[in-house]
Amino acid sequence: MTQSLNRPDEAPRTSPDTAAAALALGDDALVLSHRLGEWAGHAPVLEEEVALANIALDLLGQARVLLGTVGDEDELAYLREERAFRNLQLVEQPNGDFAHTIVRQLYFSAYQHLLYAQLADGETEFAPLAAKAVKEVAYHQDHALQWTLRLGDGTEESHTRMQRAVDALWRFTGEMFQPVPGLDLDQEELQAGWTATVTTTLRQATLTVPDGPQTGAWRAGAGRQGLHTEPFGRMLAEMQHLHRSHPGASW
């Protein structure tokens, strides 16, 4: 049996701000891990199925460490309601076709790599995890980059699908650069680095970079505040079904 997260005789493991930051980063990794896991048995080629599964497992490992600093990782993953999740809306977007999955991964891994690089150089509780995870995420980013170049500058069909994905997911990127309590980050450096990386990659792939700033007067997405898009509810129901159907079970 798992222990309750709200036992009055237990002191908080971390400060409220640190716990909130760990929850946000952990939810990002958990949700995207599940989305990538949905490709099992459906990837375009066997090698790619293995690659996506490995990325999903890396993210799941990150999620376990981060959520474990807040409370019981199983309870946090399987017993919270939708509004209690603090992940970016970007990572909860459906896989769509393979192009959508690759663009989603490009956007997020470019952000996550820069974020962990900053955290690894700091002196917070996140530094040890970030120092390890930044190496994993470098592979995630390179994987997405190579596929972006291959598909963007490929056939007319692959180019069209990639451009459609680039445009459809762009509006979810602004949320990545909103401050997260508990994370001491240079947000301007983070956004500038991300913009430069993604812009360069898209142009090399002969894809058009969408117009509009990621931050400023226009901001899309409020996943960090617990407001999620419609597909997230369906994904969460699927992810939590087994645990909720057999509470306390172990195998």
The 10 Å Cβ neighbour count of residue 134 is 19
SS3 labels along 168-180: HHHCCCHHHHCCC
Q: How confident is the model at residue 5 (pLDDT cuts 50, 70, 90)?
A: very low
Domain ranges of the chain: 16-211+220-243
Out of 94-108, 137-151, 215-229, least confident range: 215-229
Q: What is the DSSP track for 171-234?
A: TTSGGGGS--TT----HHHHHHHHHHHHHHHHHHTTPPPPPS-SSSS----BGGGTB--HHHHH
Name the pTM for this structure: 0.90
Q: In this prediction, what percent of the chain has a pLDDT beyond 90?
A: 78
pLDDT grade, residue 6 (50/70/90)?
Answer: very low
Structurally, at CATH architecture level, domain 16-211+220-243 sits in Up-down Bundle (1.20)
Q: Is the pLDDT of residue 52 over 90?
A: yes
The predicted structure's pLDDT at residue 1: 32
Q: What is the pLDDT of residue 168?
A: 95
pLDDT of res. 212: 63
Q: Residue 244 has which token pair?
A: 């909720």
